[in-house]
């Protein structure tokens, strides 16, 4: 039985800048990383592999360079990796992205039963958190979002129990398998690859599924299958900070300076 982890390669946003003229991201020279939330999705898959004897299959839709990220997943212990890459998949919004990923999972399921799909809560570039629910809906799987603990999986009864992290409370939910779970960062601490595993992953095969292999109708994928378009990306202007005093003020003096400033700027009135 399989667990499929969905992993996206994203630009390291700590190093991305926005072009002030065009409002688009400057991606040149920016390193790509595994979406941080997906490192937790992969880690959870690997823990469940050890606990329940499942196999872990990792899939990612992206340009050919995404292979590097998939090799990292193999180095961490994934059993197989498939790169879904074709020019026809490019420019996809979340609807078209979830289409390709769901079809890839169907393809995996033809070979081996899929018990669970694990996604990150969201990505750090697109940030929509729509792809996981999109895949679950397309596949008709149970959908469990914002999970911070997988309590139990009963493979015979085909059920799982998870804890969801909601605002100010937790919720424990049971659902039938197959299921799709999206995970929050708190669920685990990702492991590091060992040197022998890294070396093994360098030569391990990565499956390449283009659209000849996937056979999806062109109007359902990529730009043509995407009803939404991002018109502009920009960083909101932030008010500049002001340093009060000279740094040598005692706490009482500093508090007085702050109070005077708040009164002067009409933030508080006495
Ligand atoms: C510069 C830029 C321009 C964009 N332009 C457009 C545009 O013109 N029109 C438009 O509609 N959208 C656009 N997008 C959005 C882009 O298509 C989305 O990034 C993509 O659809 C996935 O959505 P998301 O990143 O919000 O994923 P989320 O829904 O936040 O991801 C949730 C989880 O789903 C899984 N997942 C998501 N994507 C993948 C993947 N490719 N492979 C494997 N697993 C995945 C991961 O487990 C991830 O943690 C743009 C994004 C960027 C950064």
Per-residue pLDDT of 58-76, as tens digits, reads: 999 999 999 999 999 999 9
Do 118 and 6 belong to one domain?
yes
Does residue 26 sit in the same domain as residue 137?
Answer: yes
In a domain, 213, yes or no: yes
Residues 179 and 84 in one domain: yes
**Rounded to 5°, angle at Cα 206 from 113 and 57:** 25
Q: Do residues 258 and 184 both lie within one domain?
A: no
Task: Pick the residue whose CA is nearest to atom 39 on ligand 1.
Answer: 8
Tell me, yes or no, whether 12 and 76 share the same domain. Answer: yes
Share of the chain above pLDDT 70, in %: 98
Instruction: Identify which of 9, 17, 28 has the alpha carbon closest to the alpha carbon of residue 126.
Output: 9
In a domain, 230, yes or no: no
Beta bridge partners of 169: 166
- pLDDT recorded at residue 233: 75
Clarify whether residues 31 and 159 are in a common domain: yes
23 pLDDT tier (thresholds 50, 70, 90)? low
The per-residue pLDDT for 24 is: 64
Same domain membership, residue 180 and residue 47: yes
Q: What average pLDDT does range 19-41 have in this prediction?
A: 83
Specify the range with the lowest mean pLDDT, choosing from 56-65, 127-136, 140-149, 247-256: 247-256
> Per the structure, how many domains does the chain have?
2
Q: Which residue has a Cα nearest atom 18 of ligand 1?
A: 126
pLDDT for residue 15 is more than 80 = no
- Which residue puts its alpha carbon closest to atom 5 of ligand 1? 230
Contact between 63 and 27 (Cβ < 8 Å) = no
Residue nearest to atom 17 of ligand 1 (CA): 93
In a domain, 236, yes or no: no
Residues 115 and 13 grouped into a single domain: yes
Of 200 and 241, the one with more pLDDT:
200
175 located within any domain: yes
Looking up residue 114, the CATH number of its domain turns out to be: 3.40.50.620
Round to whole Å and give the CA distance between 65 and 44.
25
Residue 20: which pLDDT band, with cuts at 50, 70 and 90?
confident
DSSP-H helix ranges across 35-173: 36-52, 67-76, 94-111, 131-139
Which residues partner with 10 through β-bridges?
Answer: 33
pLDDT of residue 165 exceeding 70, the answer is: yes
- 35, 120 in Cβ contact below 8 A? yes
Closest atom of ligand 1 to CA, residue 134: 29
Q: Is residue 8 domain-shared with residue 90, that is, in the same domain?
A: yes
Which token pair is 48? Answer: 């469940």
Does 183 share its domain with 246? no
Would residue 226 count as lying in a domain? no
* pTM of the entire predicted model: 0.87
Q: Which of 27-36, 161-170, 217-226 has the lowest mean pLDDT?
A: 27-36
Check whether residue 165 and residue 246 sit in a common domain: no
Give residue 165's domain range. Answer: 2-220
13 within ligand 1 shell (Cβ under 6 A): no
Q: Are residues 161 and 71 in the same domain?
A: yes
Residue nearest atom 2 of ligand 1, based on CA coordinates: 126
Cβ(119) – ligand 1 distance below 6 Å: yes
Task: Give the confidence band of 121 by pLDDT, cuts at 50, 70, 90.
Answer: very high
Is residue 9, in this structure, part of any structural domain at all?
A: yes
Residue 28 pLDDT greater than 90, yes or no: no
Within-domain flag for 228: no
Average pLDDT of the chain is 93
Q: Is residue 27 part of a domain?
A: yes
Residue of 5, 28, 94 best suited for mutating to test ligand 1, as the one with most atoms within 8 Å of CB: 94
Model confidence at 22, pLDDT cuts 50, 70, 90, reads low
């Amino acid at each position: 039985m399989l667990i499929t982890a969905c992993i996206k390669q994203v630009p390291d946003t700590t190093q991305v800048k926005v072009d002030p003229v065009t409002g688009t991201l400057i991606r040149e020279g920016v390193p790509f990383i595994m979406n941080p939330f997906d490192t937790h999705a992969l880690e959870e898959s690997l823990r469940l592999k050890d606990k329940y004897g499942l196999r872990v299959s990792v899939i990612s839709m992206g340009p050919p360079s995404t292979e590097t990220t998939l090799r990292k997943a193999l180095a961490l212990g994934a059993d197989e990796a498939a790169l879904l890459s074709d020019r026809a998949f490019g420019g996809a919004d979340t609807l078209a992205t979830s289409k390709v990923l769901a079809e890839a999972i169907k393809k995996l399921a033809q070979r081996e039963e899929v018990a669970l799909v694990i996604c990150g809560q969201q990505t750090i570039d697109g940030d929509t958190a729509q792809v996981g629910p999109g895949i679950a809906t397309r596949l008709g799987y149970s959908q469990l979002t914002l999970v911070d603990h997988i309590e139990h999986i009963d493979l015979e009864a085909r059920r799982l129990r998870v804890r969801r992290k909601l605002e100010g409370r937790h919720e424990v939910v049971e659902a039938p398998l197959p299921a799709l779970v999206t995970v929050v960062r708190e669920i685990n601490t990702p492991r590091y690859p060992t040197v022998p595993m890294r070396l093994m992953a360098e030569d391990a095969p990565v499956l390449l599924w283009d659209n000849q292999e996937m056979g999806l109708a062109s109007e359902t994928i990529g730009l043509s299958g995407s009803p939404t378009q991002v018109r502009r990306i920009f960083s909101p202007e932030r008010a500049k900070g002001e340093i009060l005093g000279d740094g040598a003020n005692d706490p009482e003096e500093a508090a007085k300076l702050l109070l005077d400033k708040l009164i002067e700027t009409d933030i508080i009135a006495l």
